[in-house]
């Protein structure tokens, strides 16, 4: 069985690398971290991920256009943000999971596992 591919878009360098390391150590294939929408979008267009972990605000803007494309392709999304509330995100993306920064690694991994299992 192939490991699930997780796209990570996070503009804070330390958080991005820590997040990728956590997910990779759990046995998933990680693509990223992408610090901007443009590079994350290119990655998504090149090879559709099984799940995406997205910071809401990246270097080049709000990630919602990318999230809409992912959602249209039935890619589960976890929003990982310290600036937007769960309610704000849920209004636009009711199917997505929102975790507030800082998020403990075990909580992130549980959300990843739960969303992948629900597919």
66 compared with 90, residue with greater pLDDT = 66
Number of domains in the chain: 1
Give 1's pLDDT tier (boundaries 50, 70, 90).
low
pTM of the model: 0.95
pLDDT over 80 at 20, yes or no:
yes
Q: What is the CATH number of the domain that holds 41?
A: 3.40.50.2300
Range of the domain at 66: 5-117
Contacts 24+ apart (CB under 8 A), 77-82: 77/51, 77/52, 77/53, 78/51, 78/52, 78/53, 78/54, 78/108, 78/111, 78/112, 78/115, 79/54, 79/55, 80/10, 80/19, 80/53, 80/54, 80/55, 80/108, 81/55, 81/56, 81/57
């Amino acid at each position: 069985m192939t490991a699930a591919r997780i796209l990570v878009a996070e503009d804070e360098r330390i958080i991005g690398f820590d997040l990728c390391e956590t997910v990779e150590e759990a046995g998933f294939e990680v693509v990223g971290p992408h610090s901007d929408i443009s590079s994350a979008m290119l990655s998504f267009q090149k090879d559709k991920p099984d799940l995406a972990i997205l910071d809401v605000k990246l270097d080049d803007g709000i990630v919602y256009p990318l999230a809409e494309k992912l959602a249209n392709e039935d890619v589960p999304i976890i929003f990982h943000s310290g600036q937007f509330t769960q309610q704000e995100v849920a209004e636009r993306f009711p199917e997505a999971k929102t975790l507030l920064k800082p998020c403990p690694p075990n909580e992130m991994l549980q959300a990843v596992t739960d969303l992948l299992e629900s597919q």
